[in-house]
Amino acid sequence: MEYLVLARKFRPQTFEDVAGQEHVVKTLRNSIGQGRVAHAFLFSGPRGVGKTSVARILAKSLNCEKGPTATPCNECSNCREITNGSSLDVREIDGASNRGIDEIRELRENVKFAPAAAKYKIYIIDEVHMLTREAFNALLKTLEEPPSHVIFIFATTESHKVPATILSRCQCYDFRRISLTEIAANLGRVAAAEGIKISPSALLWIAEAGDGSMRDAQSIFDQVISYAGMDIKDDDVEESLGLADRKYLFRLSEAVLQRDAGACLIILEEAYLAGIDMKHFYQILVKHFRNQLLVKIAADGSSSFDIAPEQIEKLKNQVQAISRETLQRFVEILIAEEGSFLRSQEPRMKLETIIVKMAYLEPVIPLGEIIATIENIEQRLQQGLPAAVNNSEPRFSENNSVKETPADYNTKSSIVADTNKENNSHPADNNVGDLKALRDNFKNFIKKESAILGAKIDSAEIVSYENDSLTLGFPKNYIFLEEIKTTQKEKLEQIARIFFQKNVAIKIATLDAENSNANGNNGRKQTNGLNDIKREAMNQPLLQKIMDELSDAKIVEINVRGDKN
């Protein structure tokens, strides 16, 4: 007796045997039980996921001597003939080799004759998308109104190539890729039935090589059995499937995450000398870093992905101290470089440059960590002010702008987002003779009209107001001084026109010994001290990194505040 490969020997014979297609099986079983069987079906999906097997089971269910039944007996003559492929009433046609209009015309003539022994004459056309346009057109009328004893079942891996006129005349079922665990479980049952000793890890490797196809995985299992016999070791599977390159994955990714470019080059050299195909290695490297990202994001839910269970814990341990943003950047680099890598005449050197680029990549800082570090900067800046006390944690508003802590310390420095404050003052109520009151009212009015401009003139003093001319004084080296003198001056005069209800010229002055304000020398010293702190904050490396990472970010103001609630 000739040898029967595992994919044929363990082919599903009932709906219960079908793996990974529960949605299709349930619908077909219900339609048979309710007597609502369509005259045409289209099964689409990847190769080796059970399309033709389900078509045969459906044919047996309809033609079984005890049927129609959702559970064919597999013992009657009709069931046995369909299983063996010898039934006169169930014809399997290869669409690739019978794709012309002549073959379809012949089929169209044959459907007129009644079944020889069964209840239905069933035509299973595999790879139906290979039919020519003329063949499809010849099939249309017959497909729409076939004789009551005829049922068509089409199978295809490329449903987008099937004309819409055909699709609209069929019940369409989409078959899915079969999960890693389901394929491994099926291979385990096959191994038990055949008396083969093999570890769960090795079964998972074979299932992974099947890439969602049960037939491919069973064929690979056949190959491994031929190589290693009935007692299969893990090393046998690695050698048979060419998995030697996988042992370099975790070493290389660990070196990348540790930013050790030298170790990366050494590992790649070892892989190259071991005869590893660099282009194949690149493909599994992309998938490996993708798995790291998935495990980092999904955490406990990572078992939902097609990742071998024993790898999940190793991946979790490896990425525990790495940010999600950094892992995402690695995956983006590998995907972006894939095209140029595959076209490269020197794949080894190209891979080396990509890996070194990844190893030298600065870690991407999560936003939460940026905020926390900014708070640390605030605490340090407070120590540069007299009487600063740090005894409270900062709080954040709903829009993530930095808010003040409870007022249990004298001074607080913060990077301020745009803030709108209510202003109940009215120009008519302003006492222009009192420069301090005029300053406060004018600033509040500006903040109401333009929060950004209000933040930039917050350090201003009113030096004088006379003859419809308002002189604003700013500390020397004030960070927004040049901007206020140039681009913002016109805006200031527009707001002043509304505030004073007449045209007012704005003059900008620098506060120094000659034109000081009411704060006196102590006020000037403190102002100069605060500006030194602002400049120090502007030069912080972290702030510069934030501005580089967030391309649309804009510094509105660095504001050193006194006691407020």
* Predicted local distance difference test score (pLDDT) of residue 549: 62
Give φ, ψ of 507 to 5 degrees.
-115, 140
Tell me the pLDDT band of 352, cut-offs 50, 70 and 90.
very high
* Predicted local distance difference test score (pLDDT) of residue 382: 60
Give φ, ψ of 88 to 5 degrees.
-75, -20
CB of 118 closer than 8 Å to CB of 86: no
C-alpha span between 379 and 412 (Å, rounded): 8
- SS3 category, 197: strand
Give φ, ψ of 468 to 5 degrees.
55, 35
The residue whose two tokens read 């050299």 is 269
Tell me the pLDDT band of 556, cut-offs 50, 70 and 90.
low
Domain coordinates of the chain in residue numbers? 6-174, 180-241, 249-359
| Lowest-confidence segment of 17-21, 286-290, 348-352, 550-554 by average pLDDT | 550-554
- DSSP letters, 259-306, are T-HHHHHHHHHHHHHTT--HHHHHHHHHHHHHHHHHHHHHGGGGGGSS
Q: How many residues does the chain have?
A: 565
Tell me the pLDDT band of 252, cut-offs 50, 70 and 90.
very high
Here the tokens at position 297 are 């994001």
* Predicted local distance difference test score (pLDDT) of residue 526: 52
Here the tokens at position 8 are 């044929």
End-to-end CA distance of the chain: 92
Q: Say if 6-174 and 249-359 have the same CATH topology.
A: no
pLDDT above 60: residue 112? yes
Residue of higher predicted confidence among 32 and 546:
32
Percent of the chain with pLDDT over 90: 35
Among candidates 422, 428, 480, 469, which has minimal Cα distance to 447?
422
* Predicted local distance difference test score (pLDDT) of residue 367: 67
Here the tokens at position 541 are 């490396």
Q: Report the sign of the C-alpha dihedral through residues 394, 396, 400, 401, in that order.
A: negative
CB of 434 closer than 8 Å to CB of 478: no
> CA 19, 23, 24: angle at the middle one, nearest 5?
80
What's the mean pLDDT in 473-494?
A: 83
Q: What is the pLDDT of residues 149-195, one digit of tens each?
A: 999 999 999 999 999 999 999 999 999 999 888 999 999 999 999 99
Here the tokens at position 331 are 């995956």
Q: How many CB atoms lie within 10 A of CB 170?
A: 19
**Domain 6-174 CATH class label:** alpha beta
* Predicted local distance difference test score (pLDDT) of residue 412: 34
The 8-class DSSP code of residue 246 comes to G
Q: Calculate the average pLDDT of the chain.
A: 80
Q: What is the pLDDT of residues 46-103, one digit of tens each?
A: 999 999 999 999 999 999 998 789 999 999 999 999 998 889 999 999 988 888 888 8
> CA 246, 293, 245: angle at the middle one, nearest 5?
10
C-alpha span between 184 and 191 (Å, rounded): 10
Cα 43 to chain centroid distance, Å, stands at 29
Q: Report the sign of the C-alpha dihedral through residues 88, 89, 90, 94, in that order.
A: positive
Write the CATH number of the domain with boundaries 180-241: 1.10.8.60
Write the CATH number of the domain with boundaries 249-359: 1.20.272.10
- DSSP letters, 468-521, are TEEEEEEETT-TTHHHHHTTTHHHHHHHHHHHHTS--EEEEEEESSSS--TTHH
Is 48 buried (19+), middle (13-18) or exposed (0-12) by CB count in 10 A?
A: buried
Residue of higher predicted confidence among 411 and 41:
41
C-alpha span between 425 and 412 (Å, rounded): 27
| Lowest-confidence segment of 247-251, 474-478, 506-510 by average pLDDT | 474-478
Strand partners, 471: 464, 507
pLDDT above 50: residue 338? yes
Question: What kind and span of H or E run contains 235?
Answer: helix 234-241
* Predicted local distance difference test score (pLDDT) of residue 300: 66
pLDDT above 90: residue 355? yes
The residue whose two tokens read 């046998």 is 236
Residue type, 36: R
For 287-323, give one letter per residue: b (16+ CB within 10 A) or e: ebbbbbbbbbeeeeebeeebbbeebbeebeebbeebb
Residue type, 342: L
Residue type, 88: L
Q: Please tell me the pTM assigned to this model.
A: 0.60
- SS3 category, 411: coil
The residue whose two tokens read 């600033």 is 443
* Predicted local distance difference test score (pLDDT) of residue 437: 85
pLDDT above 70: residue 275? yes
Long-range pairs of 136-143 with CB within 8 A, sequence gap ≥ 24: 136/162, 136/163, 136/165, 136/166, 138/101, 138/104, 138/105, 138/108, 139/104, 139/107, 139/108, 139/166, 140/165, 140/166, 140/169, 142/107, 142/108, 142/111, 143/40, 143/169, 143/170
Q: How far is CA 464 from CA 356, 439, 467, 494, in A?
A: 62, 10, 10, 19
